[in-house]
Chain A
Amino acid sequence: GDSVTQMEGPVTLSEEAFLTINCTYTATGYPSLFWYVQYPGEGLQLLLKATKADDKGSNKGFEATYRKETTSFHLEKGSVQVSDSAVYFCALRNTGGFKTIFGAGTRLFVKA
């Protein structure tokens, strides 16, 4: 079945450091890919998405490119801030599917 694997955390960075959180997926067909962010005590909210191969999703300085050849959707940010501290989830949803499949989440801590 469909699945998402993302790097284990926690990831601890200093402010202004470069961030990469790896995500790979297994899916039949052509899924849409998402990154969600969860701030402490809150529900998940969409950070960015890409719906087809080679698309780049971006938001709030974060970017991720849909790489079909490597089945990957890695999240990057050039300069993290303390306010980026959160848990980040990679997810996929297949065409015509009702279910969104989530990775295990990666907790990010950013130190001032």
Chain B
Amino acid sequence: NAGVTQTPKFQVLKTGQSMTLQCAQDMNHNSMYWYRQDPGMGLRLIYYSASEGTTDKGEVPNGYNVSRLNKREFSLRLESAAPSQTSVYFCASPGQQSGDTEAFFGQGTRLTVV
């Protein structure tokens, strides 16, 4: 049981380049999230998808777009990368929509924009 799988694990981009981070979960969960992790700032929510076909902005959505391709997959796109987007990105999925279930995380994508 793979849980939440993210690709790639590492990426270096030049300023202005675009890329898509992929995330897939095999747990049949409805909700999926994208977070970024920066030193001293914890995890900040970029976008989330409460169910297939819906997406909503989180705390720090600027510079990003998302697609909930189907129930399994939730991708994050950087259209024109900036150095401020250097971060570690995590995809996560909670077990249920009720509040008492934890989120399951992917292993992260370490992105550097030069």
Contact = CB atoms under 8 A, between A and B. Distances in A.
Interface of A: 31-32, 34, 36, 41-46, 49, 51, 89, 93-100, 102-105
Interface in B38-81: 40-43, 45, 48, 50, 58
A97 B108 contact: no
Contacts, number: 62
B102 interface: yes
B107 A43 contact: yes
Interface residues of B, number: 26
Contacts of B98: 95-96
Task: Tell me what chain A mostly uses at the interface: helix, strand, loop, or mixed.
Answer: loop
Given A89-B42, A104-B40, A98 B105 contact: no
Contacts of B106: 43
B25 interface: no
A90 to B, nearest CB: 9
Nearest to A4: B42
